[in-house]
Each structure stands twice: as C-alpha cells, then as structure tokens.
Amino acid sequence: MRTLDSLGPLGSKTVIVRCDLNVPLATDEHGAKSITDDGRIRASLTTIRELREAGARIVLISHLGRPEGAPDERYSLRPVAERMAELLGTAVGFVDETVGEAAAAAIAALSDGDVVLLENLRFNPGETSKDDEARGAFAAQLAELGDAFVSDGFGVVHRKQASVYDLAKLLPSAAGRLVAAELEVLERLTGKAERPYAVVLGGSKVSDKLGVIAHLIERVDTLLVGGGMVFTFLAAQGHPVGASLLEEDQLDTVRGYLDQAAARGVRIVLPTDIVVAERFAADAAHEIVPADAIESSSFGASGLGLDIGPTSAATFAAIIEESATVFWNGPMGVFEMPAFAEGTRTVARALTETSGFTVVGGGDSAAAVRALGFADEAFGHISTGGGASLEFLEGKALPGLEVLA
Ligand SMILES: Nc1ncnc2c1ncn2[C@@H]1O[C@H](COP(=O)(O)OP(=O)(O)O)[C@@H](O)[C@H]1O
Ligand SMILES: O=C(OP(=O)(O)O)[C@H](O)COP(=O)(O)O
C-alpha cells in the first residue's frame, strides 16, 4: 500500500485528505450542537500535522452521519471545524458546500500550512451512489480541488464511495498515517490471532454487520452477540421480540449462521436476559425479562429491548476474561441512556481486566468506553473503525485500501 512518503515533496501542493470525522453530536434545548466524543478528530491529527509541517495546503473532507444525499443542517461538519481548530492550535476554515465555487475560492486563498474543512460529502448524492458514473462524476469534481489525495479515514475504507475509492484513482494518492497505524495493529487479529479468540458484536447497524458473521465463524472460537443485533437472532430461534430492532428479512440467514457455527464447533453466545423498556427514552420504565420471553414484560408486544441483562453481561464478561484475543464492535445497549448502559459497562470492564489482547472498534463503541470512564490505555487498541475493522478481520479486500495498492 502506498503511504504518504510516496507522494514526494508536498510543499505548496494542495492535498485533499479524506478523514472519518463522523463524531457523535448532542443537541441542547436551544439547538446548540456539541461533540460528545472527539476521538476521531484527535486520531486524524498526526497526518494533518505532518502535512502542515511539509508546507502543504490542506483540504479536509469527511462525511458525518447518514444524510440522504442533500444538505441537512443536523449533519453539518461546522462543529467539527471548530474542534479541529482548537486541537490543532490553528485556524481551520469551513466551507458550507463540498464542491463548487465557494469551495474552489476558499482553496485558492489557502497559504502553505493552512487547513480548510469542506461540508459533509454525503450532502451530495454522488458520494454514496451505487452507480459508477454518478460516483465518478462527483469524484471528478472533488479531484479538481487538489493536486494529491491522502486517504486517512480508516472508519470508511470498507465503503466503495466517491471520496474513498473513485477519488483515489484520479489523483496521486496514498494512505495517511492513521490508516497505516490501524492496519499495523489490526494485523494481530487476522491469521496470527492468539486463541481462544472471541468477537463481541452489538450496536445498531445490524443489516450492515450481520454479513460478516459467516466469515467470522470460520475464524474465531466464540461470537458474543449483544446490542441491537440480538433480536434478529432471538426471532430466528422463534422467540417474540416485541418492538425491538429487528431485521425481518435476515431470519433465514441468521438460522444459517447458527447451523454453520454448530457444525464448526464455534460458540455463538446470545443473552439470556434482556432489559426491556416501555419506550425509547432515558426515563422510560424498564424491566429485566428472560430473553426468550421479551413480550412477558408489563409492556407486552410494545416493549423494546435496550440492553442485555445482568446475567448475560456476567456470562459475556467471564468468556472475555478467559480469551487471549478479543475484538469488540457495537455497544451492548443504548449506552447513551444511563438506564441502558450497564451491559456495555460490564463488557468494557471485562476487556480492561483480561490479560488477553483487546481491541475496541467503532465510533460509538469507542465513544461508549470513554463516556463510561475507561481510559484508552486500558485496552490493547481503540480503533476508529467498527465496520471497517470487522471487514478487515473477516479477511475481505476493502475498496478504500485496494485502490491504494
Ligand atoms: N438494543 C438496542 N436497540 C437500539 N439501539 C441500540 C441497541 N443496542 C445498542 N444500540 C445503539 O447502537 C449504536 C451504535 O451502533 P454502531 O454504529 O453499530 O456501533 P459503532 O459505531 O461502534 O460501530 C449506539 O448509538 C447504541 O445506542
Ligand atoms: O461510524 C462509522 O462506522 P462504524 O459505526 O462502523 O464505526 C464510519 O464513519 C462509517 O460510517 P457509515 O457506516 O455510515 O458508512
């Protein structure tokens, strides 16, 4: 893979840097936004500092959240520019469009070492389009803005998107320091992983992440399933799940995973108890019920599972503590609400207590462990990518990396 060094001297060159600045935001009662975890911004600083020292003119591009191909103020990157400026200790300009005249003018006005952040890439339909031509056309507009391209958004290298894949083909391009550093650590989770090897899966991007399970079953000893992922498994086993997150069209696929795991002697461990809430709210009434009887709570079929229960969390912790390698992506529950954070806290603590090599991956998973008070150093590695790390450790060729080969 080409690294920054392959781009030659970058003094006075305009370098487009694709970062993953998709950070969690909170909005207060007056509508003011704040960044609840700036880990991904901090992780991008190494490359940006190095480029500044080389005298490059730096154009940062990123997505934030999943807007639907049109401007949507809720997903603006403006708060990220402000935080980036504080962390870098220098001004970071912000342009409220991604391509077009204002972006070109702001870039033309840059001096050596200056930094500008463009608005959310996903406000443009071409960024995530499945149509090669539409994606290519947007990438060509981006390419006009710079002389070279640095791919440093590790959290997004598994996406075949315009700014990750197509743009890299249009300019001299290389991986940034964050991408290189992530890959170096994550290598330890591939063929060389020490056994027993456990992967803990949770979170809410269920349809995205179910697909990796078939490959993980071939590679790990134990798969622990929590978070929003649980209910598709429980439903596949014939248990009602109330109003919990459910991927109904994946039930047969999940039954296939259960059979595949049984045939290979791989344990898939599901929760045995669930915290069920009356509604999706921090102050919602909630009860702990057996996982195979979610609708037996006082809330009946309208109850929704928002955390794994204490018995399950203790079981997960015991398995984690006896593992030599643990990878975890996806919170065990809605950790943003204290009533539903205990499962995530117990699993996080177990990772900090095992003597094995532990990796936490994913924007929200990293935010969760920090929000719950665990230090980054308590884990072997905190990766900025959840889906990206999972697809890397399943052994898949990732579009954003292949294109840099
Ligand atoms: N049972 C659940 N129901 C709904 N959402 C859940 C549940 N458990 C966890 N989540 C949510 O999953 C989100 C994180 O998922 P995801 O994006 O897949 O993780 P990551 O960013 O670490 O890859 C969190 O915002 C959390 O509230
Ligand atoms: O947050 C991200 O991924 P993650 O939740 O798997 O860590 C990345 O920014 C990728 O975002 P996407 O899953 O909307 O493409």
Q: Kindly report, residue by residue over 21-30, the tens digit of the pLDDT.
A: 999 999 999 9
Q: Which of 180, 206, 221 is the last residue of a domain?
A: 180
Mean pLDDT across the chain, nearest whole number? 97
Tell me, yes or no, whether 341 lies in a domain: yes
Query: Is 386 domain-assigned?
Result: yes
The helix/strand/coil state of 380 is coil
Ligand 1: does its nearest atom lie under 6 Å from the Cβ of 305? yes
Give the Cα separation of 327 and 223 in Å (integer). 10
Type of residue numbered 261: A
Average pLDDT over residues 13-36: 96
pLDDT digits (tens, 9 = 90+) for 266-287: 999 999 999 999 999 999 999 9
- What would the two tokens of residue 6 be? 């392959």
**In the beta sheet, which residues pair with residue 383?**
361
Is the domain of 275 the same as that of 378?
A: yes
Of 130, 126, 106, 16, nearest to 62 by C-alpha is 16
Is 209 labeled as ligand-binding?
yes
**pLDDT tens column, 64-74:** 999 999 999 99
Per the structure, the count of domains in the chain is 2
Q: Are residues 163 and 244 in the same domain?
A: no
Sign (positive or negative) of CA dihedral 170, 39, 351, 256: negative
Between strands 92-95 and 57-61, the pairing is: unpaired
- Average pLDDT (366-371) is 97
Residues 205-224 have pLDDT tens digits of 999 899 999 999 999 999 99
For the cut 90, the answer to whether the pLDDT of residue 197 exceeds it is: yes
pLDDT at 283: 98
Whether residue 126 is found in the same domain as residue 260:
no
The pLDDT, as a whole number, for residue 323 is 97
Burial (CB < 10 A; 0-12, 13-18, 19+), residue 355, is exposed
Q: How confident is the model at residue 174 (pLDDT cuts 50, 70, 90)?
A: very high
**DSSP assignment letter at 164:** I
318 and 364 belong to one structural domain: yes
pLDDT at 305: 98
Pocket test for ligand 1, best of 312, 364, 365 (most atoms within 8 A of CB): 364
CA of 246 to the centre of ligand 1 (A): 13
For residue 59, give the 3-state DSSP assignment.
Answer: strand
Q: What share of the chain is helix, strand, coil (3-state, %, to 5)?
A: 45, 20, 40
pLDDT bucket at 31, cuts 50 / 70 / 90: confident
% of the chain surpassing 90 pLDDT: 98
pLDDT band at residue 82 using 50, 70 and 90 as cut-offs: very high
C-beta of residue 354 within 8 angstroms of C-beta of residue 320:
yes
Report strand pairing: 325-329 vs 197-201: parallel
Mean pLDDT of 399-403: 98
pLDDT of residue 192: 81
- Residues 359-363 have a mean pLDDT of 97
Segment 235-248, tens digit of pLDDT: 999 999 999 999 99
**Can you give the CATH number for the domain in which 61 is found?**
3.40.50.1260
Q: Residue 311: pLDDT above 90?
A: yes
- 70 falls within a domain: yes
Based on the fold, state whether residues 324 and 281 are members of the same structural domain.
Answer: yes
Tell me, what amino acid is at 235? A
Would residue 401 count as lying in a domain? no
Looking at the structure, tell me whether residues 175 and 225 fall in a common domain: no
Q: 71 preceded by cis ω (within 30°)?
A: no
Q: Is 222 helix (H, G, I), strand (E, B) or coil?
A: strand
Is residue 343 classed exposed, middle or buried when 0-12, 13-18 and 19+ CB atoms within 10 A define those classes? buried
Q: Which residues are catalytic, by number?
A: 40, 205, 363, 387
Both 99 and 141 in one domain: the answer is yes
Percentage with pLDDT > 70 across the chain: 100
Question: How many angstroms is it from 80 CA to the middle of ligand 2?
Answer: 16
Relative to the CA of 65, which ligand 2 atom is closest?
A: 14
Domain match, 236 and 285 both: yes
Could you tell me the residue range of the domain that residue 72 belongs to?
Answer: 4-180
Dihedral of alpha carbons 270, 275, 280, 282, sign:
negative
Q: Indicate whether 399 belongs to any domain.
A: no
Would you place residue 395 in the very low, low, confident or very high pLDDT band (cuts 50, 70, 90)? confident
User: Do 135 and 170 contact (CB within 8 A), yes or no?
Assistant: no
Please tell me the predicted confidence (pLDDT) of residue 61: 99
* CB-CB neighbours of 377 under 10 Å: 8
129/51 same-domain check: yes
Give the model's pLDDT for residue 232: 98
Q: HSE-up of 136 (CA within 13 Å, CB side)?
A: 5
Based on the domain organization, do 175 and 210 belong to the same domain? no
Residue 176 shares a structural domain with residue 195: no
Q: How far is the CA of 156 from the centre of ligand 2 (A)?
A: 6
Angular region, 93: left φ>0, alpha ψ -120 to 50, beta rest: beta
SS3 214: helix
Domain limit, last residue, from 131, 146, 180: 180
Mean pLDDT, residues 40-53 taken together:
98
Considering the domain architecture, whether residues 98 and 12 belong to the same structural domain is answered as yes
Q: Is residue 320 part of a domain?
A: yes
Residue where one domain finishes, among candidates 142, 157, 180: 180
Q: Vertex 108, ends 104 and 113: CA angle to 5°?
A: 120
404 lies in a domain? no
